[in-house]
Chain A
């Protein structure tokens, strides 16, 4: 009984449902636009994209004290710590600054009063020449990847509206995720941009499943096919989402790179549930109903 009601509800309201993603889409796009006009860029960049140095020093430190003592010495200072997941014991601190590797190391050494060697620290330096071109190229890579994906989608379905619906959902995933990443104030690294690339792959999977089931099958009613696809698709996205969420909990104390990738994927997969099963379904249903 319940299923029929849901089906009737959906038949009546699926066009209106499209308003929700549309509003969210507009909010995201305006937020990103405002963000861009204030910051001169689409994201906050970490030192792997702006240039600078990250020094990891092993041992236990008082972060607040480090911050007060070093903020004069090291420009754009940012300090984070790495913990052992179980004992919660502090393993190391990661000190980030826009200074070059050599000077950052020298200043830290004179503050700590001991030499930083590979037995007690790691140092990663990225020059701004490299990071600038790095950033531009990764953005280019995302665009090209998206374009290639769109071309393949058109080749697979060979119909305009359904293909466009897949592409719109994937684009909405990326855009909404980007807005949330900005709202959370996440400083994006080069690995974070790769996460967006992963998101393209994940988000298109369920859209292709949905579109294939609806357009290339003829058994059962339209709603029946949508519901079948929904059951499969939701299992797909939920397994990915929970797998990543569990992994995120474990790496969050330890790896900043993986934490960022997983956080972006969790946000993105959340939006993918929304965009596949509201945005894409509604556009497709509209298209199929309209053709009758």
Chain B
């Protein structure tokens, strides 16, 4: 058989798809993967992080989750502090604690295919403002606030993004992989009360329309990084930005600061700090300059700092802190109530069985196709070529999905099935055109086949577009996988199949 460039292209792309799908390091590395780690734990402080691979605990080699739990079992029964050495692929950590490390692990995944929440478990929420249409800016602020809050909450494996639908409604989509916090609903729907207090007295509360008239953001004359210095092992920068209080809030501040003394530790500041609370939790404490004592100033300079190992890191960190604080001040207390319009929490319990069922169903479908193809053509070689080509389309879709990190959810699986169906249809068209007994050359026949295939391709393609936006994109997976599938089919696998058919 002569390998034409089209066949080679198919082979190369299938190989790339395999590389993209399979996590080859899993075949060489033995151990367990850290999926989450409590950021307040000793293990975290010592440098263990999510994504690392644990290979050994003390003298026990760790190959499976069972090894991991048996290595920790019985170790902390006494309740006293014990030493534990955790080895990862690239480092070694020594912990000295009286309770097991707060780490959850999993076997190293063999593939890079990311499964959707509806298959492997997790939670998903779609949120909108109650009785109000949010603008793009408002939704972006909401997304930022919510991400901050969820991060504060200790959730790291999450996605918060703005989505909109065909009618122009804007929503916030929150997706959390794995374990769902019990009070997620409450965390998500919290309005976000922001308060600035001196001691026990409230000076002003957040939100542009209340006590804060405006917050300087993105204007170098009143917001920015002031200075950076080297300190100890790293760098350290200061930021400063202005906020403008309403007159009422300014007077309140004057009354309160009037009663304060100068700080004993630092004569530049007053004795009490301005404490910023979000949902009754202290998020920041700001020094109040001596000059502000008793004055009803509407402009307040808020300062803070950031650190980093290098100067650039320190600047990035400082900018981040400033931005976070500005966001809290601008939108800290949302001027609207939130409404959860969709909340799914899917247990990971049946995920594995579900995936097995889908594999079984795919094989049954492929078997049915094989049966009909053999009955119809009674030609072993070309039927096998057809099945292999069809199978390669699945590999390519999965390869591209892994490459672009598309989560395969239930609608995506329906999309893959749709592609295989139309793919086989197209291959049958190619087969039949090529065996027609007319006078024209084989090349001409295949050209004709592609006229039909392209017609079918474009009708399917355009009919998928509306689904990319309809229903807040929750069914987008169907359109995405089908578009990937039929496009690679028309461009790569089906032309290669035509070249294969020419030779057998």
- Distance in angstroms between the alpha carbons of A73 and B480 in the assembled complex: 41
- Distance in angstroms between the alpha carbons of A110 and B44 in the assembled complex: 39
- Per a CB cutoff under 8 Å, which of A82, A91, A141 touches B466? A141
A250–B361 CB distance below 8 A: yes
A118–B413 CB distance below 8 A: no
Given A58-B347, A148-B465, A201:B341 Cβ within 8 A: no
Q: Does A111 contact B (CB under 8 A)?
A: no
Q: Does B451 contact A (CB under 8 A)?
A: yes
- Distance in angstroms between the alpha carbons of A200 and B456 in the assembled complex: 11
B424–A240 CB distance below 8 A: yes
A239–B369 CB distance below 8 A: yes
Which residues of B (298-350) have their CB < 8 Å from a CB of A?
Answer: 339-350
A236–B411 CB distance below 8 A: no
Q: Does A138 contact B (CB under 8 A)?
A: yes
- Distance in angstroms between the alpha carbons of A83 and B344 in the assembled complex: 22
Identify whether the interface residues of B are mostly helix, strand, loop, or mixed. Answer: helix
Enumerate chain B residues within 8 angstroms of A201, measured Cβ to Cβ: 418, 422, 456, 459-460, 463
B347–A194 CB distance below 8 A: no
- Per a CB cutoff under 8 Å, which of A101, A134, A216, A231 touches B471? A134
Min CB–CB distance A4 → chain B (angstroms):
18
Q: Does B458 contact A (CB under 8 A)?
A: yes
Given A124-B344, A250-B360, A250-B361, A145:B462 Cβ within 8 A: yes
Min CB–CB distance A42 → chain B (angstroms):
17
Given A137-B165, A151-B462, A254-B354, A239:B368 Cβ within 8 A: yes
Given A58-B350, A235-B428, A118:B342 Cβ within 8 A: no
Q: Does A153 contact B (CB under 8 A)?
A: yes
- Distance in angstroms between the alpha carbons of A122 and B347 in the assembled complex: 5
Q: Does B436 contact A (CB under 8 A)?
A: yes
Enumerate chain B residues within 8 angstroms of A239, measured Cβ to Cβ: 368-369, 372-373, 421, 424-425, 428
Enumerate chain A residues within 8 angstroms of B367, measured Cβ to Cβ: 246
Residue picked from B346, B455, B465, most chain A C-beta under 10 Å? B455
Which residues of A (110-167) have their CB < 8 Å from a CB of B?
Answer: 117-127, 129-130, 133-134, 136-138, 140-142, 144-146, 148-149, 151-153, 156
- Per a CB cutoff under 8 Å, which of A125, A213, A219, A245 touches B342? A125
- Distance in angstroms between the alpha carbons of A85 and B478 in the assembled complex: 26
B456–A123 CB distance below 8 A: no
- Distance in angstroms between the alpha carbons of A12 and B183 in the assembled complex: 73
Binds B, one of A13-21, A24-32, A203-211, A280-288: A203-211
- Distance in angstroms between the alpha carbons of A216 and B360 in the assembled complex: 41
Q: Does A247 contact B (CB under 8 A)?
A: yes
Report the interface size class on chain B: 35 or more
Binds B, one of A33-41, A64-72, A179-187, A255-263: A255-263
Min CB–CB distance A237 → chain B (angstroms):
8
- Distance in angstroms between the alpha carbons of A182 and B358 in the assembled complex: 27
Min CB–CB distance A88 → chain B (angstroms):
14
Min CB–CB distance A289 → chain B (angstroms):
22
- Distance in angstroms between the alpha carbons of A16 and B375 in the assembled complex: 33
Q: Does B283 contact A (CB under 8 A)?
A: no
Enumerate chain A residues within 8 angstroms of B466, measured Cβ to Cβ: 140-142, 144-145, 148
Enumerate chain B residues within 8 angstroms of A90, measured Cβ to Cβ: none
- Per a CB cutoff under 8 Å, which of B372, B465, B467 touches A238? B372
- Distance in angstroms between the alpha carbons of A247 and B413 in the assembled complex: 12
Enumerate chain A residues within 8 angstroms of B358, measured Cβ to Cβ: 251, 258
- Distance in angstroms between the alpha carbons of A34 and B470 in the assembled complex: 28
Given A130-B342, A190-B474, A205:B425 Cβ within 8 A: yes
Q: Does B72 contact A (CB under 8 A)?
A: no
- Distance in angstroms between the alpha carbons of A148 and B467 in the assembled complex: 13
Given A122-B347, A244-B421, A136:B372 Cβ within 8 A: no
Q: Does A108 contact B (CB under 8 A)?
A: no
Enumerate chain B residues within 8 angstroms of A249, measured Cβ to Cβ: 364
- Per a CB cutoff under 8 Å, which of B347, B414, B420, B475 touches A56? B347
Q: Which residue of A has the minimal Cβ distance to B130?
A: A129
- Per a CB cutoff under 8 Å, which of B166, B361, B372, B436 touches A242? B372
Enumerate chain B residues within 8 angstroms of A141, measured Cβ to Cβ: 166, 466-467, 470-471
Q: Does B185 contact A (CB under 8 A)?
A: yes
B369–A242 CB distance below 8 A: yes
- Distance in angstroms between the alpha carbons of A144 and B469 in the assembled complex: 12
- Distance in angstroms between the alpha carbons of A129 and B341 in the assembled complex: 7
- Distance in angstroms between the alpha carbons of A130 and B341 in the assembled complex: 6
Enumerate chain A residues within 8 angstroms of B344, measured Cβ to Cβ: 122-125
- Distance in angstroms between the alpha carbons of A40 and B436 in the assembled complex: 52
- Distance in angstroms between the alpha carbons of A187 and B128 in the assembled complex: 27
- Distance in angstroms between the alpha carbons of A232 and B166 in the assembled complex: 39
A208–B365 CB distance below 8 A: no
A124–B455 CB distance below 8 A: no
Q: Does A172 contact B (CB under 8 A)?
A: no
Given A127-B342, A191-B411, A235-B372, A247:B428 Cβ within 8 A: no
7 A–B pairs (Cβ distance < 8 Å), ordered by A: A85-B360, A137-B471, A152-B455, A153-B459, A201-B422, A244-B417, A246-B368
13 extra interchain contacts, Cβ-Cβ under 8 A, other than A125-B342, A140-B166, A209-B456? A118-B348, A118-B349, A125-B343, A141-B466, A142-B466, A144-B465, A146-B463, A148-B465, A197-B478, A216-B451, A239-B424, A240-B421, A250-B364
Give 7 nearest A-B pairs by CB, closest first.
Answer: A145-B463, A148-B462, A141-B466, A243-B365, A130-B341, A127-B341, A246-B364
